[in-house]
Copies of this chain bind each other. A is one copy, B any other.
Amino acid sequence: MPESRFENVYMDLKNKIETQEYAFHSIIPSENDFTEIYNCSRSTIRRALAELIKRGYIQVRQGSRVRVIYEPVERNVFKIGGIESFKEAAKRNGFSYGTKVVKLEKIIADEEISARTGFKIGDELYDVQRIRYIDSKALILDKNYFLASVVKDLTEEIAESSIYDYLENTLKVKIMTSKRKMTTELATTEDKMYLELGDYNCLAIVSGRVFNDASLQFEYTESRHRPDYFCFEDTATRHRKRLP
């Protein structure tokens, strides 16, 4: 598996930071030093550093040197980040998990659905609802709509194991971009019926529109999380001049 050069540099630096070889608050070598250390051009180094900046590992300032701002953190919640499936996220956070399909039917998008999901009126969709169990507790209600012309022959078995495996490996759909929104809403009777909400009367909701390689939106997702098992992380940087 041939990896790109900047990827190798990125992985190596990330590792050195996570193992504290480059400790929190310390100053790491300059870009020019790195060109000799890794025997590559400055732009390759800069590409790797850009990835580290984006993920909150380092901080740079023109004229000054590069400092590490990464600190290890506790991971006892269900973190969301990047595009990943429920399975991947559960594994990464070290939880046992399960899925139960409570709905799987074909529908035609009406005006209400269209406005909510971004599909066109008249589009043929799969309407899938699944309950996600983590440590044997019903914590997430996943509501998905898939464009039937892209996601063909969706069955309960597929929905129960992993729709994303089916999409990527069987249908060869290439997931490219995902636009997500995070909100908090009052629990519906549906939420209360399916999930173990305890004292909470609200849920943390991640809704997203997913596009394939042809820029066609083929999915709308709504993940309704019990609040205490939800956490979204993000790193923002302020530039000389903020790009709007």
Contacts and interface: CB of A to CB of B under 8 A. Distances in A.
A113 interface: no
A237 B83 contact: yes
A42 to B, nearest CB: 13
B234 A179 contact: yes
Number of copies: 2
Contacts of A71: 118
Given A200-B201, A202-B200, A238-B175, A7 B182 contact: no
Contacts of A238: 82-83, 175-178
A243 interface: yes
Chain B CB within 10 A, most for which of A84, A202, A232, A242: A202
Interface in A217-244: 225, 227-228, 230-238, 241-244
Contact of A236 (B11, B51, B180, B230): B180
A174 B203 CA distance: 36
A134 interface: no
Interface residues of A, number: 58
Given A184-B184, A215-B59, A237-B83, A51 B243 contact: yes
A185 B184 CA distance: 10
A181 B233 contact: yes
**Which 7 A-B pairs have CB atoms at the shortest separation, nearest pair first?**
A184-B227, A202-B202, A67-B215, A184-B204, A182-B232, A83-B238, A178-B236
Given A61-B213, A182-B231, A183-B231, 16 more contacts: A56-B179, A69-B177, A77-B183, A83-B236, A83-B242, A176-B237, A179-B234, A180-B234, A180-B236, A181-B233, A184-B204, A184-B227, A185-B228, A186-B227, A200-B202, A201-B201
